[in-house]
A = this chain, B = another copy of it.
Amino acid sequence: MAIPKDAVIRLDPEGIPKRWYNIAADLANLEPMLNPQTKEPVKPEELEAIFCKEIIRQELSKERYIDIPEEVRDNYVSLNRPSPLQRAYRLEKYLKTPAKIYFKREDMSPLGSHKGNTALAQAYFNAKAGIQTLTTETGAGQWGTALAMVSNLFDIKSTVFMVRGSYDQKPFRKTIMHLYGSEVYASPSAQTEYGRKILKEHPETSGSLGIAISEACELAAMSGGTTKYALGSVMNHVMLHQTVIGLEAMEQMKMAEIEPDYMVACVGGGSNFAGFTFPMIGEKIKGKTDCEFIAVEPEAAPSMTKGEFKYDFGDTAGMTPLILMYTLGSQFIPSPIHAGGLRYHGMSPLVSEACKEGYVKPVSYDQTSTFEAGTLMARTEGIVPAPESCHAIRAAIDLALEAKKTGEEKTIVFCLSGHGMLDLGGYENYLNGTLQSSALKE
């Protein structure tokens, strides 16, 4: 079939948003992070050991809009922003649905995912504060890749602690980070006191995200101020930076006169969901849209569909502040699904609060059904989605099939958070029938 050329809705580079949207200004009952010792709200200065001042200001801000520095906007061009909004004509036709399906293309970044949107902003503010090195952890590798690349844009260094299991099993992620000039250590490593302690006690461990976070934070805290820590999800400033996705999408929907009934994105820590939906949820809070916002979790880590809304630690080791969020408990270890970016026990406090206040509807899927959706996306639209993004596609397809039943011309817009070029092992397992079900054991 031919697809009309209007299938792709583009903005020119001047269409890159000038301000990030901060949903903290519009949520009614947002509660602060607490110091786990004192149970008092965390003070800005308590965060200074690991974050620079501007990042802390943004983390705690209740201003509705925060200006995007011109140099950040210029550099967003290097991430191929603005990203296209595209109509999935062929997927619609295959499904024989009256629904219109659109997707926002974060897969177009040279990094392959949306992670660069905040990595770039964090690198900029840290460079401007005179920081020489950013350090972070990475599990699946997308976040480490993003930080490694953007650090070069602002002439700072990056040090990444990669969970040993991934380091050994996903060697190409490590290769990309090296290619970008990053220092990459398998965690636990001999670079930190905490890492050495773990290595001594458990020399054969495959590591964990919790351990890697602790190592990165220790490196920052012990650097005497030259090194700061960068986080790829969960925290408020990360959600803030990601709103370029949704702000662009709103502009594109306005241009093409698209009124979404559903906006759909996958959720792990919450960053691509927040970035994609928060600006439109802001409209919903003002009563300006009836759009529903669907957050798609893996059944392996269903924090909003099955977790509790309570104060919990953001990491496994209990070193972070206490944050009010939907959580499966900080000791919860999700099964090793291919969508590594969704394997998190908790949920961004902003996404959690938006859900608690009724603006977000969480759903969850088994990974087999998500790979089925990703395969259909590849065969119809020609794009191989990341396993994380397959969750959003699965839910979008189900909404389109529901619309087929009812005969309603629903408009569904989902976020394609990344491509799957480095996740083909999961597709291979799906295609040859060896993919494991990932449902949570009850």
- A-side interface residues toward B, CB under 8 Å? 1-8, 10, 12-14, 16, 70-71, 73-75, 77-80, 90, 108, 110-112, 149-150, 152-153, 171-172, 175-176, 178-181, 375, 378-384, 419, 421-422, 424-425, 427-428, 431
7 contacts between A and B (CB under 8 A): A5-B14, A79-B382, A149-B382, A150-B382, A178-B428, A179-B424, A180-B378
- Indicate how many identical chains form the complex: 2
Complex contact B179–A75 (CB within 8 A): no
Taking CB atoms, residues of chain B closer than 8 Å to A178 are 428, 431
Taking CB atoms, residues of chain B closer than 8 Å to A3 are 74-75, 77-78
Complex contact B382–A78 (CB within 8 A): yes
Q: How far, in whole Å, are A152 and B370 apart by their CA atoms in the complex?
A: 21
Known: A78-B381, A111-B382. 20 other contacts (CB 8 A): A2-B71, A4-B74, A5-B16, A5-B77, A7-B77, A8-B13, A78-B382, A90-B153, A110-B384, A152-B379, A152-B382, A153-B382, A171-B428, A172-B425, A176-B424, A178-B428, A179-B375, A179-B378, A179-B379, A181-B379
Taking CB atoms, residues of chain B closer than 8 Å to A180 are 378-379, 382
Q: How far is the CB of A130 from chain B (nearest CB, A)?
A: 17
Complex contact B172–A428 (CB within 8 A): yes
Q: How far is the CB of A286 from chain B (nearest CB, A)?
A: 31
Once A13-B8, A179-B384 are accepted as A-B contacts, the answer to whether A74 and B2 lie under 8 Å apart by CB is yes
Q: How far, in whole Å, are A10 and B77 apart by their CA atoms in the complex?
A: 12
Taking CB atoms, residues of chain B closer than 8 Å to A431 are 175, 178-179
Once A178-B431, A378-B180, A381-B78 are accepted as A-B contacts, the answer to whether A13 and B2 lie under 8 Å apart by CB is no
Complex contact B74–A5 (CB within 8 A): yes
Complex contact A2–B75 (CB within 8 A): yes
Q: Which of B2, B70, B176 contacts A70 (CB 8 A)?
A: B2
Q: How far, in whole Å, are A108 and B427 apart by their CA atoms in the complex?
A: 22
Closest 9 CB pairs of A and B: A5-B13, A421-B421, A172-B424, A2-B74, A2-B71, A175-B428, A175-B424, A110-B383, A179-B378
Q: How far, in whole Å, are A419 and B80 apart by their CA atoms in the complex?
A: 14
Q: How far, in whole Å, are A425 and B78 apart by their CA atoms in the complex?
A: 25
Complex contact B421–A112 (CB within 8 A): yes
Taking CB atoms, residues of chain B closer than 8 Å to A71 are 2
The chain B residue with its CB closest to the CB of A378 is B179
Q: How far is the CB of A67 from chain B (nearest CB, A)?
A: 15
Taking CB atoms, residues of chain B closer than 8 Å to A10 are 10, 12
The chain B residue with its CB closest to the CB of A78 is B382
Q: How far, in whole Å, are A2 and B13 apart by their CA atoms in the complex?
A: 14
Q: How far, in whole Å, are A424 and B422 apart by their CA atoms in the complex?
A: 10
Taking CB atoms, residues of chain B closer than 8 Å to A176 are 384, 424, 427
Q: How far, in whole Å, are A153 and B178 apart by their CA atoms in the complex?
A: 37
Taking CB atoms, residues of chain B closer than 8 Å to A16 are 5
Taking CB atoms, residues of chain B closer than 8 Å to A73 are 5
The chain B residue with its CB closest to the CB of A12 is B10
